[in-house]
Chain A
Amino acid sequence: MTWFRALFRSTVGLKWLMGTSGLVLSGFVVVHMFGNLQIYLGPDAINAYAESLRKMPLLLWAARIVLLAAFLLHVLSAVRITQLNRAARPTPYELWSPQVTTYAARTMFMGGVILAGFIVYHLAHFTFGLTHPDHFKLHDAKGRHDVYAMVVLGFRQPLVSLSYLLAMVPLLLHLQHGVSSFFQTFGLNHPRYNRIIRALGPIVSLIVFLGNCSIPLAVLAGLIPYPVVGK
């Protein structure tokens, strides 16, 4: 593990750890969003999807462990690098007029903190069923865990939906800077491809933002019905 220590000790290495874990996490976020969008296909589709994941416990737990490790690594390196960065400028400027630094790039750490809080809430809501235990216990006609019902009932409460929608803003910003940043951190920068690379962050983050936001909004607008009639 000397290479890990070496990486963790240098600012460049920390960026590698940050980037690698960030890549895993944002990959998950994208896959997760597409999984969630199956809710538009009706209860059968999304409940079947959830059931199929449960039937592969090895894969599921492996993924969970990888995600947890990536999350911890991401947080750990973020805390460390932020410490170092803040220590590097003890006296702030009276006047600082950044020319190209985006709002997203400036707020990575605070945005990250909000997201971490949101993730805890999100897990408590949908994974552990702590916030709405009554929604969590439902089963559909085929005896499967009724994810569809859980989501729709949850998002019907305006406050719950609002918290999800608000949390998507830091996620948008975080991915906007983060996704394009992987490439730079991993050493992929070439004038020929830079336009694509630099556009990728905004594009991916916007897709995730719109996809995720659409679900609570659709629920509130009554576009995703429950109970499903006419079946």
Chain B
Amino acid sequence: MILDGHVPAGPLEQKWDRHRNQLALVNPANKRKYHVIVVGTGLAGASAAATLAELGYQVSAFCFHDSPRRAHSIAAQGGINAAKNYQNDGDSVWRLFYDTIKGGDFRSREANVYRLAQVSVNIIDQCVAQGVPFAREYGGLLANRSFGGAQVSRTFYARGQTGQQLLLGAYSAMCRQIGLGQIKMYPRTEMLDLVVVEGHAKGIITRNLVTGEIQRHAADAVVLATGGYGNVFYLSTNAVNSNVTATYRAYKRGAFFANPCFTQIHPTCIPVTGEHQSKLTLMSESLRNDGRVWVPKKKGDSRPPEQIPEEERDYFLERMYPSYGNLAPRDIASRAAKRVCDEGRGVGPGGLGVYLDFSDAIRRLGIDVVRERYGNLFDMYREITDEDPYKVPMRIYPAVHYTMGGLWVDYNLMSNLPGLFVIGEANFSDHGANRLGASALMQGLADGYFILPYTIGDYFARSRRSRPDPDQPEFREAEERTLRGIERLLAINGKHPVDVFHRELGKLLWDNCGMSRSEASLRHALEEIPKIRERFWREARVTGGPEGINQALERAGRVADFLEFAELLCLDALERKESCGGHFREEFQTEDGEAKRDDENFCHVAAWEYRGENERPLRHVEPLRFEFVDLTTRSYK
């Protein structure tokens, strides 16, 4: 099937405005009759829930954390992009659009990305009004910093805690609406199924994580803002509880999953220290503003870094990408690091690491400026590694960080299932095959504050459906299916905790579908995943019962979904016979090892349709049309 993204016609810069003028409206008195379910309370979910409630809709918001403020958006460090051009360095909506679409290796929709760049400026206004303490100059105006993949300074930041501050802003807006009774908040509640009535998404099934009670919730529309699936790799920079369950179960109910193979590997993470490790810690990309990345020129050089003279160091990013240098985009920088490590020039235990060196910056700026800019990151690094980055260079290595793929949505952020909206990292829409730094926060908030609140009204006004009764057979069936799933997990009579299988899956994926992939490695992974899954269902042990707090059960359900989803990820990677952005197929590379796109055959979105257990999913295609930019080869040289 050829999918239609419903991109409006007209000149690029007028598409969103024109579209907004044509969207059907719901009058204020009628808004309160509509009930919206928002799952997830990160930047996208919280901003959407708050804004929908402000408009007058009745909102039910769900999160599995104890409080909406704990969503993983909180961990974003670096910043948020906006085309304000406060620095007078030539930035514009067009440039932000172009950097983003080029950064994504031309695998996203022009119209979506342009709209994102347009509303970026409103986001900053909104956040400042909410009291987000963005960094400022002495004159009191907003400060900016540079970020990877751009040659202008357009990133707004609040120390190294930008995500936290933006989330607290959205959370506070949400708190206000909860206080006013416009939002009913369900913390410690996990969505376990989507309910589809006559082809429309009309509700969810949840488990109360404190009591274990399974509940049905009916609404006029369901918004998924449940984040990405990076934890399919087990070790990633995601929070340990981040999972694919909500989006994967929606996929199983008929929503298409788009471009699952587009996963982002972040170049600056603290390297793995041992088997015990539960997650990887990101060191903000902003560090690359002042830190210089290098490895020894000589293979297997085991001297401590300070004893390696300048001429024997290879500042490989500056060498390979002179115009962007250490600020090359994430996918490029990660692959370059992998390449030098594969050559045997990696540093630290196991040779899986490169130096990120601040000694030049400390000489140039003084230790106090460096401490002011990056102090909290340096402290974090020291605590984890027991090394002082003011004295010895940091060691970093790429790690899974973000997933560009997600549920397929059209220009209105609605999936192929009418009434199911997907926003933030959970959808696939704006970052193509690679996301630029400081763009995730921008997209989450753009979707939640400025796009979904418009487009959801259009759905209500046009579909004119009544809200179903949660006692309808569709709800009862979904509930029974959920209960059966829980029983099945509790009945596995093995011995090992589920983490064992999760870690095994993660390693398999990292080795075969990580920073580089090949047909052989992907076929190998596709063979192995079902075996791990089969062993999971035989040898795992899920202790406790269905009632009360049972973290073993929560994890088991998520791992079971990862074990299925991983197959989809590898299948998509196998079918996309080109290299682009974060998806690097060894068979498709230029002579100097850069990604080689195939615009002829793969300038499209791949959206997968679930067809049942043990059935191969169906690959649908949404062609990407580039009317306003040329498909160039990405070059950061």
> So, do A and B actually touch in the complex, CB under 8 Å?
no
